[in-house]
Every structure is written in structure tokens, then in C-alpha cells.
Amino acid sequence: MTNTVLLNSIDHKDVRVVTSFGEQYGDNVWYTATFPLEFRSIQAHYPIFFQKDPNTGGFYPVAMTGFQESENLFLEGDKWNAGYVPLMIKRQPFFIGKQDKIEEGKTTEHRVIHIDLDSPRISDSNGQELFVEFGASSPFLTEMADMLETIHHGMETNQAFVQSLLKYDLIESFTLDIELNDGSQHNMIGFYTIQEDNLRTLDKDALAELHQAGFLESAYMMLASQSNLRNLIDLKNKRNGL
């Protein structure tokens, strides 16, 4: 359950946010949503695939951190063992929301910050303060606001990215069979990837269209990221003591 409210410097002046990692903070996830604007950082550490929203049927990219529910192979105690932490993990317990404001007689929509007061990261004694003297935003909160803005714009590009790939039949389902050092096998189903043969045979107009939108590079970064599956398997074997 969540208790998401609009953040303000009066009601939440003493709220602090714990920035450590751990299962107790909900970091034991086996994948997390990402977006093309983040691919350059994500692809250096995590495999990127697509998942399908069961409610809408829409595709969205995810960075994999494990092979099964509640498994994060980069999480060791209170440490995240990778050079980059996905933004959808780092932004917890904040969310971006919208609020209507009347300016000069006109109603305009503004993005605002919400916070989940039921998050285990919330504290009144430990962690990063959100507000400083006279109710000003702390440097930490300012950083979080910038991060949420990046996520907002990044998520907006996802739909256009996916639609461009679907236009040229560049998304396909796949099943990944993984064998560990102990001989056990795991089947990874329900994920989607780039259809390489179709990508390779696109005509110059299609390539130009994807390149101009920045999506051609994103598609190739997705493919390149999948070499990280080997590292993920190695982490799994290490965790199993193999």
C-alpha cells in the first residue's frame, strides 16, 4: 500500500529520506522500468528488454537485475554493486504529479512532487532532510526534483520509441534458456527484444526516420546491453556459491 501525498514544506518539514539500499526498502526487484534517454548508462551494466503491460498491452523497456521474482543480483546487504543505479530505483519514495494552477485567469498544468509517506525510506531522524531553513528545498530534494523531471521526459519518449519500432515490426517475443553451474535450468518468458533481422534489412528511409528520432541508436543499445546477461548469470552462480 502507498500513502502518496503532495509534498510541502509545512507538513513535511521534519521528514527525512533514507538513501541506503536493502530488501527492507523494496530494492529486491528483478527488473525496473527505464527509457531511451537512460539507455546509455543502463546498457553498460544491465540487459534491456521489453515487457508488456498486462492492462494496456503496451510495451515498455526494462533493465533486468535478476531472473526471478524478488531477486536483485546487484543488491548485497545495503550496497548496490553496479556503477549506475537506475533512476526508477533512485527516485523512491518520490513521484511526479500534476496540479492545475490559475495564472492570469488561465488554468495551467504544473508538475509537482508527491511522496509516499508509507515508504520504509521515510524517517524523522535518519537520512536526507528535504527542507532547510525557511522552508527552502534542500540540495537533496533539488536533486530529486531534477531526477523526476528527467524521468518524466524519459517516460514520455517511451511511447514514441515503441510505436516507431512496431511500425517496422522490430519487436519480437523470445524465450531465454539459462543453465547455471549446478546444472539447473531457468526459462525466462514474457520478455521481448529487438527483431534483428528486420532491423538489418530496413531501407534507407526507415533508417533515416529512426536515426532522426534518436531511436536507431536506442535500438542498438538495447541489443548491445544483452551481452550483460553473461554477467547476470555469473552473479547468480556466485550467489548460489558456484
Q: What is the pLDDT of residues 63-108, one digit of tens each?
A: 999 998 999 999 999 999 999 999 999 999 999 988 766 666 676 7
Q: Which residues contact 68 (CB under 8 A, 6 or more apart)?
A: 30, 186
Residue 103 lies in a domain: yes
Report in angstroms the alpha-carbon separations of 174 from 5, 51, 165, 198, 217: 40, 11, 16, 15, 21
Residue 1: the pLDDT is 67
Residue 22 belongs to some domain of the structure: yes
Find cell 540487459 and name the residue.
Answer: 47
Residue-range definition of the domain harbouring residue 173: 4-233
Tell me, yes or no, whether 158 lies in a domain.
yes
Q: Kindly state whether residue 238 falls inside one of the protein's structural domains.
A: no
- For 96-152, the pLDDT digits (tens) are 988 766 666 676 777 899 999 999 999 999 999 999 988 999 999 999 999 999 999
Q: Is residue 70 in some structural domain? A: yes
Residue 241 lies in a domain: no
What letter does residue 137 receive in the DSSP assignment? Answer: B
Q: How large is the average pLDDT for residues 193-205? A: 97
The string of pLDDT tens digits covering residues 166-189 is 999 999 999 888 888 888 888 888
Contact 224, 45 (CB under 8 A): no
Task: Tell me, yes or no, whether 242 lies in a domain.
Answer: no
Q: Please report the DSSP string for 148-206 in residue order.
A: HHHHHHHHHHHHHHHHHHHHTT-EEEEEEEEE-TTS-EEEEEEEEEE-HHHHHT--HHH
Q: Please report where in the chains the cell 533539488 appears, as a residue.
A: 142
**What's the confidence (pLDDT) of residue 178?**
86
Mean pLDDT score, 6-17: 95
Q: Residue 61: inside a domain, yes or no?
A: yes
Tally of domains in the chain: 1
